[in-house]
């Protein structure tokens, strides 16, 4: 079942002098079982939007249908508490939220909160660790002695242990070294392909969006500016620059070459194809 968002509006501090409209007229259909990127500049409403997906925010107007929940204005937070089991939201720098003495306790905190008994919760923890690339030897260690990337894995395991159908990740690779970022992205790909999680990714990294995502949503000033599959999206880079998105390096190279009179077909999106394409053009002159 896809996620359906209809005419969603969100106003912060409504009725006060600080009233601020963050989202207006959002209509979206987010496909199930896919990896969808949400992109846009600072302040475009990305975080506000994703916080609606697990009921952290309730819309000011409009509706949201997700995992069998129908969310509309004036709903009480307690009515949507069960939604948080279905939709896991991983904030920026989630490792800052680790707090327990051991990794086992930290990951078990979520299920225990949802009424799972300790013993059962610990079993779940054991099952979840390999999913994030850690093994049982980590269980009794303190989360604070791990590296940044490992801490982040523990924090993500704390969400996965609730077995959510949808996983929403806000800038999950910020601050990681290139290798750490790559490993983190392949973890999400596994979660999507092997464990069938629907993944929403808020990202500034256009290389990741191009390489890993199926679907792209662009927000600008609280509105949906563009929604398309990833190929169509990257085949029209001129438009991307117009709205202030810095395209991936390969797209920038294509644009620079085109400007110098090279003929580069829109559908070329990988390095080998681009090399072949310019090769024909410089060799032609020989």
Partner 1 sequence: MDAIQVMNLTFSYDGQNDVIKDVSFSIPKGSYTTIIGHNGSGKSTIAKLLIGLLPAKSGEIRILGKTLNEESVYELRNHVGIVFQNPDNQFIGSTVADDIAFGLENHCVPQEEMQAIIESSAKKVGMMEYLDSEPTKLSGGQKQRVAIAGILAIEPEIILFDESTSMLDPQGKASINAQIKQLHTQKDRTILSITHDMEEVAQSDFVIVLKDGEVAMTGSPMEIFAHAKEMEEMKLDIPFALKFSKELIKEKITDQPVCTLEEVVKQLCQLKSTT
Contacts of 102 (CB under 8 A, 6+ apart): 139, 140, 141, 142, 143
Q: Per rule CB under 8 A, is residue 282 in the interface with partner 1?
A: yes
Q: Is 205 helix (H, G, I), strand (E, B) or coil?
A: coil
* Beta strands in the chain, from DSSP E residues, in sequence order: 3-12, 20-30, 35-39, 61-66, 69-71, 87-90, 166-170, 198-202, 215-220, 223-229
Q: Per rule CB under 8 A, is residue 211 in the interface with partner 1?
A: no
Task: Kindly identify the residues of this chain, within the stretch 139-168, that bind partner 1 according to CB under 8 A.
Answer: 147-149
Tokens representing residue 143 in the block: 């989360």
**Smaller CB separation from partner 1, 38 or 125:** 38
Q: Per rule CB under 8 A, is residue 177 in the interface with partner 1?
A: yes
Q: Per rule CB under 8 A, is residue 253 in the interface with partner 1?
A: yes
Pick the piece of the chain touching partner 1 (CB under 8 A) from 26-34, 81-89, 107-115, 246-254.
246-254
CA angle 214, 215, 219 (to 5 degrees): 150
Q: Per rule CB under 8 A, is residue 41 in the interface with partner 1?
A: yes
Query: By the 8 A CB rule, do 21 and 222 touch?
Result: yes
Q: Per rule CB under 8 A, is residue 12 in the interface with partner 1?
A: no
Q: Per rule CB under 8 A, is residue 115 in the interface with partner 1?
A: no
Q: Which residues bind partner 1 (CB under 8 A)?
A: 40-43, 47, 92, 147-149, 171, 174-181, 204-207, 244-246, 248-250, 252-253, 256-257, 260-262, 271-272, 274-275, 278-279, 281-283, 285-286
């Amino acid at each position: 079942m896809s996620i359906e968002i209809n005419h969603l509006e969100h106003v912060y501090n409504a009725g006060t002098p600080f009233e601020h409209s963050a989202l207006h007229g959002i209509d979206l259909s987010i496909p199930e079982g896919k990896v969808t990127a949400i992109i846009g500049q600072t302040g475009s409403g990305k975080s506000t939007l994703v916080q609606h997906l697990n009921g952290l925010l309730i819309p000011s107007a409009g509706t949201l249908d997700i995992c069998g929940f129908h969310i509309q204005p004036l709903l009480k937070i307690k009515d949507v508490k069960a939604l948080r089991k279905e939709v896991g939201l991983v904030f920026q720098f989630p490792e800052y939220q680790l707090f327990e003495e051991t990794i086992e306790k930290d990951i078990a905190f979520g299920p225990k909160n949802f009424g799972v008994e300790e013993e059962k919760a610990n079993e779940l923890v054991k099952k979840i660790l390999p999913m994030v690339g850690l093994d049982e030897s980590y269980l009794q260690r303190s989360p604070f002695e791990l590296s940044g990337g490992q801490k982040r894995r523990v924090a993500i395991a704390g969400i996965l242990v609730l077995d959510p159908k949808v996983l929403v990740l806000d800038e999950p690779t910020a601050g990681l070294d290139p290798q750490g970022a790559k490993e983190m992205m392949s973890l999400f790909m596994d979660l999507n392909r092997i464990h069938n999680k629907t993944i929403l990714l808020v990202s500034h990294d256009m290389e990741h969006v191009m390489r890993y995502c199926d679907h792209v949503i662009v927000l600008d000033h609280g509105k949906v500016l563009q929604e398309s599959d990833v190929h169509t999206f990257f085949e029209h880079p001129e438009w991307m620059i117009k709205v202030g998105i810095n395209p991936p390096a390969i797209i920038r190279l294509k644009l620079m070459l085109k400007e110098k009179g090279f003929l580069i077909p829109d559908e070329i999106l990988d390095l080998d194809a681009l090399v072949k394409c310019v090769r024909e053009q410089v060799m032609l002159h020989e």
